[in-house]
Amino acid sequence: MTRARDVARRFGVRIRTQAILISVVPLTFLLILCVIASVLQNRTEQMAAWSQRSTNALSESDAIQKSISEANRSLLEYTRGAKRGSLAGYDNGRRELPLHEAQLLRLVRDDPAQERRAARYAELSNQLMSEVLTPYLTLWQAGKKSAAAKLGVSPRVRRMAAEWEAVRNDFGLTERQSALARYAALHRDLGSLGTGLIGASVAGIVLTVFVTGQFGFRIARRLLRLTENARRLGSGEPTAVIGGADEIADLDRVYHEMTRRIQETLHQKEDALAAYERAHHVASTLQRALLPQELPDVPGIAFDGVYVPGRAEAQVGGDWYDALRLADGRVLVTIGDVAGTGLPAAVIMAAMRQVIRGVAQVYADPATMIDAADRTLKAEHPDRFVTAFVGVYDPVAHTLSYCSAGHPAPLVRHADGSVSDMPSEGLPLGLRTRDGTDARTVDIPDGATLLFYTDGLIESTQDVIEGERRLRAALAEPQIAMRPDLAQAIHDDVLREGARDDVAILAMRLEPAVTVTPGSSRHWSFDTGDLKTAQRTRALFASVLADAGMLDDDVFSAELIFGELLSNAVRYAPGAIEVVLDWSGASPAIVHFLDRGPGFVVIPRLPTDLLSERGRGLFLVWSLSDDFNVTKRADGGSHVRVVLTPRRKRRQNGVVAGTQTAPLNAAS
C-alpha cells in the first residue's frame, strides 16, 4: 500500500514537473525571440539614423556648392551688363553659405575623418567667397575691370577652385562609401540574427513538442483509466480509485462520491415519489373542495364558471367564484380574490366564501354579507385584504342587488350585443370602515349575460386598459357569447399568452323570456279593493297547491299565509298587487307578494304588547313557513317571499301515492 502511494506521488511529481516544463519552455524561447527582435529593431533604427545623417550631409555639401555657384553666376551676369538686381544670387550665397557650413560640420562631428574633410571643404568655400568672388566684385565696381579680369584667370584662383572641387568630391565619395559599408554590415548582422532566430524557433518547437508529447502520453493513459472508471461506475460495476494528487485523481474521487450519492438518491426515489403523489392528491382534493362542486340549476338561467391558477405548478390559490340558489328562490353570486397565493390564501378564500354563504341563508342582503366577511377577516387575518363582489339576483323581479369590496366591476352584455359595466365601488375587505358598505339594486333585462371575473383576467399583459378592451371585445363577439362554456371561451380569447395570476370567471346568462318558466309557476294580478277577485284568487291558490299533491294541513297553512299577506297589503299598501307561486324543479313552493306601497323591511317577532293587533300577522306567516323575508323594491313597494313547507307524500287508502307531483299548469 505504501509502495502504491509512493508510485502515485512520484507520478504526480512528474506530471507537475512536465506541466511546468510545458509552460516554461515556450516562455523561454519566446523571451529569446523577443531579445533577437529587439536587437534587430535597434540595428535597423541605427541604420536608418546613419542613412538619414549621410543624406543630410550630402545635401548640405550640395547646398554649399550651390551657394558658391549661384554667387559666381550672379557676378558673371552682373559684369556682362545686367542690372543691379542680378546680384541677388551673390547676396544669397554670402548669407546662406555660413549656415550650410555650420550644419555640415554638425552632421559629421561623430566621424573625425569626415569632420576634417568637411572643415577643409568649408575653409576653401569661404576662401573662394572672400578672396575671389568678393574682391572681383569690388574691383569691378571700382572700375578696375582689367584687374578684376586678371584676378578671375589667375593661377592661384584656378588652383583654389580645383582644390575646392577635389575636396568636395572626396567628401561626397567618402560619405557614400561609408553609407554602403554600414549597409553591408547591417546586412551581415541581419543574416546572423535571422539565422539565430530561425534556429531558436526550431529548437523551441522541437523541445516543446517533445515535452508536450511526453506529458500528453502520461495524461492520456490516466484519462483512459478515468474514462473506464466512469463507464464502470455508470453501469454499477466496482472500480479502483485512481491514485495521485493531480486533478485527474481528484476528478476520479468526485466520480466515486457522486456515484455513491446518486445511489443513495435512487434508494430514496420511491419514497419521494410517493410523498409527491400524496401532496398532489391533497392539493387537488383541496382545490376541488374549495370551488363549487356544481353550479345551481335555475330555470331560465345558465351558469358557467372556470378557475385557472396563474402557474402551471400551482394547485390552490386565493381566487374564487360561487353561485347558490337560496330557499326563497333568489340566486346568490359571489366572486373574490385573496391577496397572495398558495395554501394560506386558499384558507382565507374558503373562510370568506363560507361566511358569505352562511349569512345569505339567514339574511340575503349583500351589504350585510360584505360586512360579515369584513369583520371575520379583520378578526382572523388582520394583515390581509380581499376584494369581493356579492350579488343577489331575484328571478321574479328581474333585479340584482349587489355590493362590491374593491373588486372589478362585472360586465353586462345586453340582448343587442352591447356591453356595459355595473357601477360599483368600495374598499377591499380588511380595509373597510363601518359605514363603508354601499349596496345597490339594478334591473337586469331579459336576454342579458352577466360576467363576473377577477383581476388576473385583465392584468396578464400588465396593461389593464388593453386587458379590459380584450374582455369587452370577447364578450361582445356573438360566436363567443352563445357558447355553452362561455367562461372558458372568454378565458381562452382574452389570455392568449397565458395568465400570470390566478383567474376566476363566472358567467350568468338569462334566457330571453321571463326567468320563471311556464309550467313551473302561477301568476295573479288584482287590486286589493276588488274583494271578489281577491277571494277567488285565494281559493284558486289553495286549489293549485292541493292539485299539486300538498297535504290538506299544509294547504290550510298556505291559505292562511296568503290571507295574512293579503290583509297586510290591504291595510298598508292598498292598490295593485301581484302574486307569484313559484314551484320550479326540486325547490319548495315559494309565494311572492309584490305591492306598490311605501315599502318596508321586517324582522318577524311577536309585538311587545301581546294584546296589540299589529305585528301578529307577519309573525304568524314566519311561524308557518320555512322562510320569510320582506325587502324593498327598487322601483317602489315591497317584495314578500314566503317559502312554504316542502311537498310531502300523500296517502290514498293507506298507501303512499308518490313522492313527486306533476308540474303546475300554465300560468292563468
- Cell reading at 621: 306567516
Q: Are residues 470 and 570 in the same domain?
A: no
User: Is residue 611 included in any domain, yes or no?
Assistant: yes
CB-based contacts of 536: which residues, under 8 Å, 6+ apart?
A: none
Predicted pLDDT of residue 190: 74
CATH code, domain carrying 137: 1.20.120
Give the total number of structural domains in the chain. 3
| Host domain of residue 437 | 292-510
Q: Are 159 and 131 in contact (CB under 8 A)?
A: no
Q: Are residues 570 and 497 in the same domain?
A: no
pLDDT digits (tens, 9 = 90+) for 216-246: 777 777 777 777 777 776 676 777 777 766 6
Question: Which of 185, 201, 217 marks a domain boundary?
Answer: 201
The identity of residue 189, as a single letter, is D
The identity of residue 365, as a single letter, is D
The identity of residue 478, as a single letter, is P
Question: Which of 510, 543, 578 marks a domain boundary?
Answer: 510
Lowest mean pLDDT, pick from 81-85, 172-176, 179-183, 355-359: 81-85
CATH code, domain carrying 385: 3.60.40.10
User: Is residue 314 included in any domain, yes or no?
Assistant: yes
Q: Are residues 414 and 297 in the same domain?
A: yes
Nearest one of 486, 482, 529 to 505, comparing CA atoms? 486
SS3 250: helix
pLDDT digits (tens, 9 = 90+) for 135-145: 888 888 888 88
Q: Are residues 420 and 477 in the same domain?
A: yes
Q: Are residues 475 and 557 in the same domain?
A: no
CB-based contacts of 565: which residues, under 8 Å, 6+ apart?
A: 591, 593, 617, 621, 640, 642
Predicted pLDDT of residue 449: 95
CA torsion, points 92, 94, 98, 99, in degrees to nearest 10? -10
SS3 334: strand
SS3 608: coil
Q: Are residues 50 and 183 in the same domain?
A: yes
Predicted pLDDT of residue 654: 45
User: Is residue 13 included in any domain, yes or no?
Assistant: no
Q: For residue 260, what are the CA distances in angstroms to 227, 234, 251, 428, 622?
A: 17, 11, 14, 55, 77
User: Is residue 336 included in any domain, yes or no?
Assistant: yes
Backbone phi, then psi, for 389, in 5-degree steps? -130, 130
pLDDT digits (tens, 9 = 90+) for 5-18: 554 455 555 556 65
Predicted pLDDT of residue 423: 87
- Cell reading at 490: 372568454
Nearest one of 358, 461, 464 to 408, comparing CA atoms? 464
User: Is residue 403 included in any domain, yes or no?
Assistant: yes
pLDDT digits (tens, 9 = 90+) for 499-535: 778 899 999 999 875 444 434 578 899 998 888 898 8
Predicted pLDDT of residue 3: 45
Q: Are residues 309 and 458 in the same domain?
A: yes
Q: Are residues 493 and 525 in the same domain?
A: no
- Alpha-helical (H) ranges within 235-246 are none
The identity of residue 541, as a single letter, is F
Residues pairing with 419 in the sheet: 413
User: Is residue 286 included in any domain, yes or no?
Assistant: no
User: Is residue 556 included in any domain, yes or no?
Assistant: yes
pLDDT digits (tens, 9 = 90+) for 462-471: 888 999 999 9
Q: Are residues 25 and 132 in the same domain?
A: yes
Question: Which of 510, 544, 564 marks a domain boundary?
Answer: 510
CATH code, domain carrying 616: 3.30.565.10
Q: Are residues 589 and 503 in the same domain?
A: no
* Neighbouring C-beta atoms of residue 177, cutoff 10 Å: 10
Q: For residue 190, what are the CA distances in angstroms to 184, 379, 457, 531?
A: 10, 97, 82, 138
Q: Are residues 525 and 504 in the same domain?
A: no
Can you say whether residue 442 is alpha, beta or left, with left for phi > 0 and alpha for psi between -120 and 50 degrees? beta
User: Is residue 214 included in any domain, yes or no?
Assistant: no
Q: Is the pLDDT of residue 546 over 60?
A: yes
**Residue matched to cell numbers 276588488:** 530
Distance CA 226, CA 246 (A): 12
Q: Is the pLDDT of residue 193 over 90?
A: no
**Residue matched to cell numbers 550644419:** 103
Nearest one of 388, 403, 487 to 442, comparing CA atoms? 403
Q: Are residues 135 and 176 in the same domain?
A: yes
**Residue matched to cell numbers 390564501:** 345
Residues pairing with 577 in the sheet: 526
SS3 641: strand
Predicted pLDDT of residue 245: 66
**Residue matched to cell numbers 529569446:** 32
